[in-house]
A = this chain, B = another copy of it.
Amino acid sequence: MTLAFDIEARDPHSRARAGRITTAHGVIETPVFMPVGTRGSIKSLTPDEVRNHGAQIILGNTYHLYLQPGHELIARMGGLHHFMGWDGPILTDSGGFQVFSLVYGGIADEIKGRRPTQQVQPGMVKVTDDAVIFKSYIDGSMHVFTPERSIEIQKGIGADIILCFDELPPFHAGYDYTARSLERTHAWERRCLMFHRATQEGGLPFVPPNPYQALFGIVHGGVFPDLRRASAEYLRELPFDGLCIGGSLGENKQQMREVVDMTVPHMPDHLPRHLLGIGDVDDLIECVARGIDMFDCVSPTRLGRHGTALVRDAERRWKLNVANAALRDDPTPLDAWCDCYTCRRYSRAYIHHLFRAQELLGIRLVSLHNVAFLLKLMRTIRQSIIEGRFAHLRAEWLGI
């Protein structure tokens, strides 16, 4: 038994549920938001800080860690937990998202429905039914990912939850491409599962630092209801420990929520559900209502680096630009509701000054606040589900 999921409470007015995921490195109370540590660090923050502010699980990116410092070195250093000093649960993605963003010129933009800002560079990688060939973003060297290779790398990193390798078709690919891609992804997911099981007893070129890894499948199908349903129904028959919703989620927030709505009813109730890469305040609340248990997003640290603080203010779309001149002599904390280190100790005026003066501490304090803010939001959501107040919280936060 590598992972257990127990549902503790359900909201009577929506698909929201509160549960507990048990892993080899501890328990995760859901719904949960996981901060992203792309290269083995939650940007500018220590593991202790994010743990002390309530982080239960963090995400590492296989693509980046494979290229630098390399999964074999991480395995030799005792696995990512030991290497980076985080002893709680870790999830790694498969690397698929990143290698395909090379070919489609910024897949994050695609998936979130924004138009590409750069030309597609189809020569950069080659995709076959067997493998993806791509260039390193660091030095341009050529690399090959197969489903088996992705799992092998993730076994070297040693996360508690690992993901299947999948193809990320571009949003504007249309129905036929998406349907063909879905077949390929399903075949890859089967191969991941087989390789994962085949190497449970050994056979890798290194000693895996964590023998208790759970494998999640990823539901694809773009914005097409019949493909999403087919994918969920296909994957639920395979022995995955949980399922993600991946691939294109449409052009805007409304379409993303429709994709979740068309997919969740066909996913098994007894497995945790992870919506990949989503982290806006309203999306977290709305997707919990739609039955999602797990979220990850780089947004809190990315926003922090650019001086945007999350605040409990629907009219501002939950965002405050700390460089705004109105904050120059504002003695109040970034957010009155938040109880993070930044909000307990520093004024908006000081943080405004740090950003104007381009001091690194500013990035750090706002990144910590943003991570803590989302973690507290998720705890508050969870408690409201348990206490039967989720509908009230949803209306109160979203101002509806």
Instruction: Please list the residues of chain A having a beta carbon within 8 angstroms of any beta carbon in chain B.
Output: 39-46, 48, 64, 68-69, 73, 76-77, 83-85, 328-329, 331, 345-347, 349-350, 352-354, 356-357, 359-365
Return A298 CB to nearest CB of chain B, in Å.
13
**B77 and A331 within 8 A (CB):** yes
User: In whole angstroms, how far apart are the Cα atoms of A331 and B74 in the complex?
Assistant: 11
Known contacts A69-B353, A69-B356, A84-B350; decide if A44 and B361 are in contact (CB<8 Å).
yes
A128 to chain B, nearest CB (A): 30
A88, chain B: closest CB distance, angstroms: 15
| Pairs across A and B, CB under 8 Å, 12 listed | A40-B359, A41-B359, A41-B362, A43-B360, A46-B361, A46-B365, A48-B345, A68-B353, A69-B349, A76-B329, A77-B331, A77-B347
- Please name the 3 residue pairs, one residue from A and one from B, whose CB atoms are nearest each other, closest first: A44-B360, A41-B361, A39-B357
Of B41, B73, B352, B360, which is within 8 A of A354 by CB? Answer: B41
The answer to whether A349 touches B77 (Cβ under 8 A) is yes
Beyond A85-B350, A347-B77, is A360–B360 a contact (Cβ under 8 Å)? Answer: yes
CA distance A385 to B360 in the complex (A): 37
Chain B nearest CB from A39 CB (Å) reads 4
- Docked Cα-Cα span, A361 to B43, in Å, equals 7
Kindly list chain B residues whose C-beta atoms are within 8 Å of the C-beta of A360.
43-44, 360, 363-364
Decide: B349 and A85 in contact? CB cutoff 8 A: no
> Cβ of A76: which chain B residues have Cβ within 8 Å of it?
329
- Residues in chain B near residue A83, CB distance under 8 A: 347, 349-350, 353
**CB distance B329 to A43 under 8 Å?**
no
A39-B350 Cα distance, complex, nearest whole Å: 11
Q: Which of A39, A48, A363 has the largest number of chain B CB atoms within 10 A?
A: A39
Tell me which residues across on chain B come within 8 A of A41, comparing CB atoms.
354, 359, 361-362
In the complex, which of the residues A44, A363, A365 has the most CB atoms of chain B within 10 Å of its own CB atom?
A44
Choose from B64, B345, B349, B364 the contact partner of A364 (Cβ within 8 Å). Answer: B364
Smallest beta-carbon distance A111→chain B, Å: 24
Check B77–A329 contact: CB distance below 8 A: yes
A85 touches B345 (CB 8 A): yes
Task: Give the contacting residue for A69; candidates B45, B46, B328; CB below 8 A.
Answer: B328
A44: chain B residues at CB < 8 Å are: 360-361, 364
A328 to B345, CA, bound (A): 37
Interchain CA distance A83-B328 in the complex, whole Å: 12
Chain B nearest CB: distance from A50 CB in Å? 11
The docked-state distance in angstroms from the alpha carbon of A364 to that of B42 is 13
Taking the nearest CB of chain B, how far is it from the CB of A96, in angstroms?
21
Asked if A39 contacts B359 (CB within 8 A), the reply is: yes
Selected from B45, B68, B77, B346, the residue in CB contact (under 8 A) with A357 is B68
Q: Known contacts A44-B360, A345-B85, A360-B44; is A73 also within 8 Å of B39 by CB?
A: no
A256–chain B nearest beta-carbon distance, Å: 30
- Beta-carbon nearest neighbor of A46 in chain B: B361
Residue of B nearest to A305 (CB): B360
Contact of A68 among B42, B64, B85, B356 (CB under 8 A): B356
Given contacts A349-B83, A350-B83, contact A359 B68 (CB under 8 A): no
Residues in B with CB closer than 8 Å to A349 are 69, 73, 77, 83
Contact between chains at B364 and A73 (CB < 8 Å): no
